[in-house]
Amino acid sequence: MSQELNLILLGPPGAGKGTQAARLVQDFNIPWASTGDMLRTAVAEGSELGIKAKGFMDSGALVPDELIVDLIVERVRNADSADGFLLDGYPRTIPQADALAEALQGLSRTVTAALLIELDDEEVIRRLSGRRVCTASGHGYHLDFDPPKHEGICDQDGSRLIQRDDDKPDVIKNRLEVYHAQTKPLVEYYENLGLLRRFDGSRGQTEVHDHIRAAMATLRLEETV
């Protein structure tokens, strides 16, 4: 039996998906396939798919699902994806999930699990709205978790700290509305397939990582039985 771990990462902004993804790809030696990164790489390399994607991006249009799936297929065919992959940023809708399943089926592969890192809206807003960034060098701070020694001033170079527009509460609330509208059906989709695994994103990063790693190790073990 296959021991592939073909994983999809789900969760609201601020849930720590990036942190967990970086750890999981090291744990299981699988690539982190971010759709945003794949698009940027394809465009930079001037590949056939990249040229097509650039045309849409330059015109301000959304890159079609078909093109995203083609990029994913191209990425999954790489030798480093033989043991699996961690897909981040796709799918976001049911039709995208169906398209992904069909494309993987064409490669004789399937999704092993969809990992949902859950975090309530209030905590998302607290985490994101507390972030501050140095205007000169980009050093990051957090008002609760890693505050500067002097309010509004960067410890490193004395420059002014600002709150980015997408970290403002009203913007975060809008992002959450979009997330819930898109993701709730997707969560149900993978739950109905028996592929959803839930993790409590309010816990510490290491504890969340330990829970995910243990669940994935168990999954991989079950695949060999």
pLDDT in tens, 185-217: 999 999 999 999 999 999 999 999 999 999 998
Residue extents of the structural domains in the chain: 5-31+78-120+175-224
Give the confidence band of 21 by pLDDT, cuts at 50, 70, 90. very high
Q: Which residue has the tokens 């978790």?
A: 145
Q: Which pLDDT value is given to residue 124?
A: 95
Q: Is 77 a catalytic residue?
A: no
Question: In the chain, where do the E strands start and end?
Answer: 5-10, 32-34, 84-88, 113-118, 131-134, 140-142, 161-162, 196-200
Q: Which pLDDT value is given to residue 1?
A: 39
Q: Is 175 a catalytic residue?
A: yes
**SS3 letters across 116-131:** EEECCHHHHHHHHHCE
Q: Is 17 a catalytic residue?
A: yes
Tens digits of residue pLDDT in 61-86: 778 888 899 989 888 898 999 999 99
Which member of 92, 198, 203, 213 is catalytic? 92
Q: Encode 172-206: b = buried (16+ Cβ within 10 Å), e = exposed.
A: beebbeebeeebeebbebbeeeebbbbbebeeeee
Give the confidence band of 2 by pLDDT, cuts at 50, 70, 90. low
Give the confidence band of 59 by pLDDT, cuts at 50, 70, 90. confident
Q: 5-31+78-120+175-224: what CATH class?
A: alpha beta
54 pLDDT more than 50: yes
Tens digits of residue pLDDT in 71-128: 898 888 989 999 999 998 889 889 999 999 999 999 999 999 999 999 999 999 999 9
Q: Is 173 a catalytic residue?
A: no
- Once rounded to an integer, what is the mean pLDDT over residues 54-59? 84
**Cis, bond preceding 91 (omega within 30 deg of 0):** yes
